[in-house]
Amino acid sequence: MRAVAGVRAGWTQVGSVVGVRSLHVALACRQQLVSGEPIEVAGRSFVPDEYGNVTPSILTDRFRVRGRPSFAIFDSLHPVVTVQQNFDSLLVPADHVSRSRSDNYYINKEQLLRAHTSAHQAELIRQGLDAFLVFGDVYRRDEIDRNHYPVFHQVEGVKLLRDVVIHEGATPDRSDRRPEHQEAHTLDAATYALNDLKATLSGTASTSQGHRARLPILIKLVCPDSLMPPARCLYMLGLIEHLFGEVEQRWVEAYFPFTHPSLELEIFYQGEWLEVLGCGVVEQAILNEAGTDHCLGWAFGIGLERIAMILFEIPDIRLFWSTDERFLQQFAADRPLHSMKFQPFSKYPPTDRDVTFWLPEAYSPNHLADLVREIAGDLVESIFLIDEFTHPKHGRTSHCYRIVYRSMDKTFTTEEVNEIQDRVRQSIAHDLKARHIRGGGNSNPLDMTTSLHQTSAIATDNPYAGRRRQTPAATMGAGK
């Protein structure tokens, strides 16, 4: 686990830091998306279509990590997967919100950047593997704050249990499903699987020799022979206790389309309950489709950046992508794990700007987040809604967002922030097709009394200076 905080990716022990490509590369990438020309992702070519919404910055090297991960079983599976892999193979309903374009980066209607490492679960089971880990980068369109980033890293763990009586008697149907077990499982089979899962993650588990042992996790997972079946080198015993020490734990009921029963594991750490992973008994339909209808299985997933932020008190997920040696040296691989606590090194103040606009059709806040990231990159710290208004006559809604900018290594000048904010306004009008945008950086904020959200200081370094947060009134009529 030492490597998790040691690098920007959260899980590579040794790897070079990759910066943002030059502006002309990003522009060329955007032109490819618009023209429908083939685009390259991790060495493979794909053809975008009108459904594609993957952004140029996602396709540049800024989100790719170089170097060999130090503790992985499968760590180089391609990040572009099919809709069938990412959703259908995991029984995600066709109308489930997780499939939406506002939550994912689609290359075209049939392919996208994987939203979770679970996308590889079925194919690996189909290959005959019965115990494996998948480490990888995953991509989601999400809000902007200190805990969210469009790319992060997950580990997916799967184990199949053989020689277990799954069900008895006649072929089960859906009416036989209970909160405690699937219709295809007996209560004893489901209990057996959950006990094995819980022992692996929070306690001890029996090895193939039948004795009990507790081994350091995430250090013992390197398979010396890449051709060796992962099941021979996978002994994960007491994962949570190894990472966090002897902490109070609790299992909370949850819902995932691909497991039942489903659980989340929470720990009481530094005075509060924290969710650390999701898990459950794999839906038997997934195993049946993969040709392992005689097996029972369980799976879990962990966000690596989240674990590292908790363990090492890292306050901002953007730091994992920092090239600053003041950050990287704090997590050198030769330092003892217990000594690794983040020491702040940046005292640069935040600068905020507000922007207001009428919401276009099919709008999602994630559209705005992606747009701002494309322009400001890692200079944007957070975006949050501070006011909204629905016109009583035409029913249209306007939002006022506060965008907070902060650099890790310098203080912004007013001119620099205003230039970025003006580009954001222009992009909102051009790309989101929004109307009556207010909040440009070059205006005097206290003179903008005709803005959509009246008398709010649209662009000032002090979010409270001279502001009277009022509900928009007559000025909203300009949006008709």
pTM score of the predicted model: 0.64
Q: What is the pLDDT of residue 419?
A: 93
Q: State which residues of the chain have pLDDT below 50.
A: 1-27, 61-72, 204-235, 441-480
Extract the tokens encoding 119.
Answer: 């996308």
8 Å CB contact between 228 and 73:
no
Kindly tell me the number of DSSP H helices and DSSP E strands found in the chain. Answer: 12, 16
Extract the tokens encoding 4.
Answer: 């998790």
Q: How many Cα atoms within 13 Å fall on the side-chain side of residue 60?
A: 19
8 Å CB contact between 388 and 399:
yes
Q: What is the pLDDT of residue 326?
A: 82
**Phi then psi for 87, rounded to 5 degrees?**
-125, -60
Q: What is the pLDDT of residue 49?
A: 84
Q: What is the pLDDT of residue 57?
A: 64
Extract the tokens encoding 472.
Answer: 């928009």
Q: Which residue blocks in 281-378 are alpha helix, DSSP H?
A: 284-289, 304-312, 325-328, 365-376
Please measure the distance between the N-terminal and C-terminal CA atoms of the chain and give it in whole angstroms: 56
Which tens digit of pLDDT belongs to each residue from 196-219?
898 888 764 333 322 222 223 332
Which tens digit of pLDDT belongs to each residue from 222-255?
223 333 333 333 345 567 777 787 888 899 999 9
Extract the tokens encoding 289.
Answer: 């489709």
Q: What is the pLDDT of residue 476?
A: 28
Q: What is the pLDDT of residue 219?
A: 29
Closest CA to 463 of 350, 369, 357, 374: 350
Q: Which residue blocks in 347-413 are alpha helix, DSSP H?
A: 365-376
Q: What is the pLDDT of residue 290?
A: 92
Q: What is the pLDDT of residue 50?
A: 79
Query: What are the chain's domains?
Result: 2-18+64-79+114-321 (3.30.930.10), 351-479 (3.30.70.380)
